[in-house]
Structure 1
Amino acid sequence: MPIIHSAYKAPYFLFSEHLETIIPALFRKNEPIKYQRERIDTPDQDFLDLDWSFKGSDTLIILSHGLEGNSKTQYILGMVFLLNSLGYDTLSWNYRGCSGEINKLHRFYHSGETGDLDFVIEHATRKKNYSKVVLIGFSIGGNITLKYLGEQGTNINPKVICSVNFSVPCHLASGAKKLAGWGSYVYMKRFLNSLEKKVTEKSKIMPEVISAKGFDKIRNFLEFDEMYTAPIHGFKNAFEYWEECSSLYYLKDIRIPTLLVNACNDPFLTPQCFPIKEAEENPQLFLEMPEQGGHVGFIEKKISGIYWSEKRAVEFISDYL
């Protein structure tokens, strides 16, 4: 599918990719969402917390958050608010350990964990007989979603009709390397602080299988994934984990209309995260690359209120509902 031209432009007061990324995350104020929480047991005796917002629709939109986010992250709340105002039911699911309570097992979530997403979709479609389901992913939630769609291919649940994804690190290895640089120190530090709290909490609950010893020496995702993600989730090392879980390699097999929006100035992304060739060769993959937007930013006029990304998502999915 030809590359989509993007008309998005950031407000004048956001004059760098870092401001476009940080200001919404720290200062955006959203209308409160009255979630209804449901806890479901996973096949491996763990649990997932799902946050529903019902409007009586026969269409469900499932939202997947980014690294160390949750259902109350600002970009999730903003998207839910607009979708609810248009009458759609939404389901914002929290990855293992992200709902405010540590999960039962020593394993975490990771950037390529599609089994939980599949389980959530199957549960949601059994719970209520929705006629259509839409998937929206942000950052690693987008990577999980795109990988899932590629894995499913023509076997995708027929109720899943389209997908929209923003700020996706499609190539994990190069993204990890970029975030290890000095220019990304603030982002890396924030991620590691959050992850350290979870590892420390788990180590107190299950010291026989996980330890926080040495975490203070971790400085980047290579070191974290080598120490925790890879061995815990059955990968030989961080590089195998990154290669097997990068959605870039699954895009060719996507068989439902899918929009990927990655800003050219996204401070988290590398050239490998802009899959132009894959989009040109797959008629179901639509790639939009606005010059601005930062990482999950896309403010339109002011810090609070509806963002361009939310209106863009609605515009895309409306063609298939």
Structure 2
Amino acid sequence: MIWDYQAPWWLPGGNAQTIYAAKLARRYSGPDPKWTRERWDTPDGDFVDVDWRSNDNSLPKDAPLLALFHGLEGSSSSHYAQAFAEETHKRGWHMAVPHFRGCSGEINWAPRAYHSGDFEEVGWILSRIRQQHRGHLFAVGISLGGNALMRWAGEMGQSARQVVDGIASVSSPIDLTASGNAIDAGINKVLYARMFLGTMKPRAMEKLKQFPGLFDPQELMAAQSLYEFDQVFTAPLHGFKNTDDYWERASAKPGLSRVQIPALLLNARNDPFIPASSLPTQAQVSDWVKLWQPAAGGHVGFASGAFPGDLQEMPWAVTEWMTQHG
């Protein structure tokens, strides 16, 4: 199966496709997604919150399950999570949205937060889901979550098959240096970096109240780019020397040749966050990895249909691919 997304005529350009999908496109046509939250204690004395779609309590326990790992500053309320909730409801699948630490509406307890290469956390979450679910298990990672998921698959190799039946990443910055530089440059810095920093800085300052002396608050508040923020906060808190070390070591791209489970990488070539030149070729990935690189779609955009459009085509294509290859 190959899905070649075609943007509607009324939605031209990567920025418009990105912003419209996030802010205005219809996310679902049926009932609002309902979530039931579980709190899981982590091995290091912290917690993660997992939201389970609760509209389908009558589903068989062993029906397929989709675990969705959200993007930077995302949650189960993100537009893509709600669109996938609609699609999995139609398919009769269960769905869970594990929240990276600090993203569920309550600050986490440990000094650490989350980061783009957090594959150990992804692995722990997937293993726990696998322990309690007997049916097919699929995982989708969006943007940051997709990089972490693909990084996990590359690290695990063949043993990943004991946990999941198939994975997919959507609009994921698998070359973090290329993507970080793109977000921090030109109009992207105004449109996107400022938006992310608007929530990341206050969250980091909350962390400082928990752990005084964790970082220099003046340096953090002076950060005007993701690079500068990661230099002060993300990199040192998660064991990296600096931003350059973090972006290099956390990127999933070098490990894609080691992936040994069905894996789909979907990246629009006009994604304002991800330069098309940084996307992998088939020669750079294993035979298990399928590349979808349509010309349009923006960053987690992919709205379709007549105005005002909806977001159902992409979740359908991704889950259909999983059905056929998982």
The yes-or-no answer on 1:315 pairing with 2:320 is yes
Note closer, same or farther for the CA distance 1:293–1:57 as it changes in structure 2 (3 Å cut): farther
SS of the counterpart of 2:37?
Answer: strand
Single out whichever of 55-64 and 36-45 deviates more from structure 2.
55-64
2:199 counterpart residue number: 194
SS of the counterpart of 1:267?
Answer: coil
Offset of residue 308 of structure 1: 2.0
2:39 counterpart residue number: 39
Offset of residue 199 of structure 1: 1.0
TM-score by length of 1: 0.93
Offset of residue 303 of structure 1: 4.3
In structure 2, which of residues 77, 89, 109 is the aligned counterpart of residue 104 of structure 1?
109
Contact 1:132 1:159 in 2 (8 A): no
Contact 2:48 2:98 in 1 (8 A): yes
The yes-or-no answer on 1:82 pairing with 2:87 is yes
Contact 1:20 1:298 in 2 (8 A): yes
Structure 2 distance, partners of 1:39, 1:144, is 21
In structure 2, which of residues 217, 220, 229 is the aligned counterpart of residue 215 of structure 1?
220
Single out whichever of 255-264 and 28-37 deviates more from structure 2.
28-37
SS of the counterpart of 1:319?
Answer: helix
Note closer, same or farther for the CA distance 1:99–1:278 as it changes in structure 2 (3 Å cut): farther
Equivalent runs, 1:147-158 vs 2, <5 Å: 147-158=151-162
Contact 1:111 1:141 in 2 (8 A): yes
Offset of residue 246 of structure 1: 0.4
2:68 counterpart residue number: 63
1:236 counterpart residue number: 241
What one-letter code is carried by the residue in structure 2 that aligns with 1:14? L
The yes-or-no answer on 1:16 pairing with 2:13 is yes
Offset of residue 304 of structure 1: 5.2
Structure 2 distance, partners of 1:124, 1:315, is 22
What one-letter code is carried by the residue in structure 1 that aligns with 2:176? L
1:139 counterpart residue number: 143
Offset of residue 29 of structure 1: 4.0
- Name structure 1 gaps, 5 residues minimum: none
Structure 2 distance, partners of 1:271, 1:76, is 25
Offset of residue 277 of structure 1: 4.0
CA shift digits 1:14-37 (9 cap, x unpaired) = 111111000111123434211110
CA shift digits 1:152-176 (9 cap, x unpaired) = 0011142411112111111001111
Contact 1:131 1:159 in 2 (8 A): no
TM-score by length of 2: 0.92
The yes-or-no answer on 1:266 pairing with 2:271 is yes
Q: Percent identity?
A: 31
Offset of residue 6 of structure 1: 4.4
Contact 1:251 1:278 in 2 (8 A): no
1:52 counterpart residue number: 52
Structure 2 distance, partners of 1:306, 1:186, is 22
1:287 counterpart residue number: 291
Contact 2:101 2:114 in 1 (8 A): yes
